[in-house]
Amino acid sequence: MRTFTFLLLIAVVLLLEQTVLNFLRVAGVKPDLVLLLIVFNGMLKGSREGAYWGFVAGLVQDLAGGYYIGLNALSKLLAGYAAGLVEVRVYKESLLVAAAVVWGASVVSGSATFLLLLVLGIAVTPLDAFLRVVFPLAVYNSLLSLLFYRPFHRATFYGILREERY
Amino acid sequence: MPSWQYVKRVLLVLVLLGLALSAMHLTGPDRTGKPSLLVLWARDVVAPVQHGLWQAARVVSAGAAFVFSFGRDTGYTRSLEKKVAELQGEVKRLRVVEQENSRLKALLDYKETHGGASLVAVVIGRNPDNWFGTITINRGRADGVTRGAVAVTPAGLVGRVLTVSNHTAEVLLITDPRSAVGSAVYETQVPGIVWGTLGEVERLKMQYVVKDEPVRKGFLVRTSSLSGVFPPGIPVGTVTRVAEEESGLFKTVYLRPAVDLNRLEEVLILLKQ
């Protein structure tokens, strides 16, 4: 059930990213809600599940786009894994910790995407990539995490994203 | 000495990385030509929901703009802004036509430039990430749209169709880093290639502009007659900055797109004959 709910959540968020979030651009960027889901999940469930769901969500995003299958899968896998590394190390119920982890994971994911674009021969200058996308997006995502982390935390332990135990 | 467990893990990561990189290369738009049938079918199915969400968000956004501008940003001011952009595009187009007439170009083919079959399409979505620049429109193969068809507005060039499903099409914007447009500076006729920089950034880069030719801020750049993809004479952008290239042979010209690509609502698709 959790798997199905998480997949549905990813699909809905992707649809929002293609439509509604275009009207919520700040400093030229729109938030990456798929990344938020992955990072929250990684923080609460550990690096193994963080990486797994990062890969799955990224792959869904790639398949929906139809091109460069693997680009988002790899960058989001890394973000999920990185977020999972803090699982046992810090006080993960704190909003500020969540915001900091989201910032870091967004930078990891953005840097990976930038490098992969270079590998694909798509020329984006480092200045443009980091000043216009990676850092503004990391700040935007981390601010939004203050809004969404608590509901996700509750859903993971007591709500629709809770693991079933038989 | 690393343990066998560690070596196995590293090997697995390397294999996964290799597979992902190969998949990325093999599924680039220049390789595959088009996404799988399943993806195209899914786009058709999702299109009505996407259209509804886009329209709803547009209405909410317009309402919010009205409130936060203390009533100054109304539908009337937006329609005036749109009209100004259209008129500016018209002026630019007329300047181009005037120049071409004055040179008595016998090969001027007005129909090819502006008079071919076309249809209006409504924007219903945009790429989900912040790197690429594509829009989804509500017209597809069933309406006669084909891959490579050019998208414009009265103000200038928008891009070209990258993929087509039955009822939707994905347009590659000229700001996308994968986009290249054969262009020329209107005032001096010096040619160059206009590249996108980042999908969400309203800035273009024109390269391979011969160093000796004068190009200044405010000059108009339009599609070139040498471009095999775009009809000639469509405004692409206005020069904002000129920089020397390190090689010393060329200069790089930075442009602001003629069309406000972040506020697109409808586009005109020039159908291929």
Contact B127/A at CB under 8 A? yes
Give B2-37 pLDDT, tens digit per residue: 788 888 888 888 888 888 888 888 887 766 556 777
Closest approach of A166 to chain B, Cα-based (Å): 32
What are chain A's domains? 2-14+29-157 (1.10.1760)
Please, where in chain B does CATH 2.40.10.350 lie? 180-257
pLDDT at B139 over 90: yes
Q: Which of A58-62, B94-98, B121-125 has the lowest mean pLDDT?
A: B94-98
From residue B9, alpha-carbon distances to B3, B6, B15 in Å are 10, 5, 10
Q: Within 13 Å and on the Cβ side, how many CA atoms surround B211?
A: 8
Smallest CA-to-CA distance from A76 within A94, A62, A95 is with: A62
Question: What one-character-per-residue DSSP string does B48-64 give?
Answer: HHHHHHHHHHHHHHHHH
The boundaries of every CATH 2.40.10.340 domain in chain B are 65-173+261-270
Residue owning tokens 């899968």: A73
Residue A163 phi/psi, 5-degree rounding, is: -75, 140
- Cα pseudo-dihedral B110, B182, B176, A127, rounded to 10: -140
Place of tokens 């009209």: B83
Q: Is the backbone of residue B242 left (phi > 0), alpha (psi -120 to 50) or beta?
A: beta
Cβ separation of B29 and A123 shorter than 8 Å?
no
Of residues B249 and A32, which shows the higher confidence score?
A: A32
Q: Do B198 and A124 touch (CB under 8 A)?
A: yes
Identify which of B23, B32, B53 has the shortest CB distance to residue A20: B53
Instruction: Decide if A126 contacts A114 (C-beta within 8 A).
Output: yes
Q: What are the tokens at B142? A: 């069933």
Q: Give the model's pLDDT for residue B106.
A: 36
- Residue by residue, pLDDT tens for chain A (166 residues) are 888 898 999 989 988 888 888 888 888 899 999 999 999 999 998 888 999 999 999 998 888 887 888 899 999 999 999 999 886 666 777 889 999 999 999 999 999 999 999 998 888 889 989 999 999 999 999 999 999 999 998 888 888 888 765 5
Indicate yes or no: CB of B128 within 8 angstroms of CB of A133. no
Q: How far is A65 from chain B (nearest CA, A)?
A: 8
Considering only the beta carbons, identify the residue of A15, A120, A132 that sits closest to B201: A132
Of B17, B39, B201, the CB nearest to A128: B201
Taking the C-alpha atoms of residue B104 and residue B106, their distance in angstroms, rounded to an integer, is 6
Is the Cβ of B39 closer than 8 Å to some Cβ of chain A?
Answer: yes
Q: How many CA atoms lie within 13 A of B94 on its CB side?
A: 6
| Cβ-contact B259, B157 below 8 angstroms | yes
Phi, psi at B119, each rounded to 5°: -145, 150
| The pLDDT of residue A41 | 92
Closest chain A residue to the Cα of B56, Cα to Cα: A20
Q: Which residues of B touch A19 (CB under 8 A)?
A: 50, 53-54, 57, 124-126
B15 interface with A at CB cutoff 8 Å: no
Count CB atoms within 10 A of the CB of residue A144. Answer: 17
**B107 in contact with A at a CB cutoff of 8 Å?**
no
What's the confidence (pLDDT) of residue B113? 53
Q: What is the CATH number of domain B180-257?
A: 2.40.10.350
- The tokens for B179 are 């986009």
Which CATH superfamily does the domain covering B65-173+261-270 fall into?
Rod shape-determining protein MreC, domain 1 (2.40.10.340)
Distance CA B210, CA B149 (A): 30
SS3 (DSSP) at A41: helix
Q: Is the ipTM of this complex over 0.85?
A: yes
Tell me what the mean pLDDT of segment B100-107 comes to. Answer: 49
Q: Which two tokens stand for residue A156?
A: 């993971």
Could you give the dihedral angle defined by the CA atoms of residues B256, B259, B263 and B266, in that order, rounded to the nearest 10 degrees?
A: -160
Q: HSE-up of B217 (CA within 13 Å, CB side)?
A: 3
Is the torsion defined by CA of B184, B187, B190, B193 positive or negative? negative
Assign B109 a pLDDT band (cuts: 50, 70, 90): very low
Assign B143 a pLDDT band (cuts: 50, 70, 90).
very high
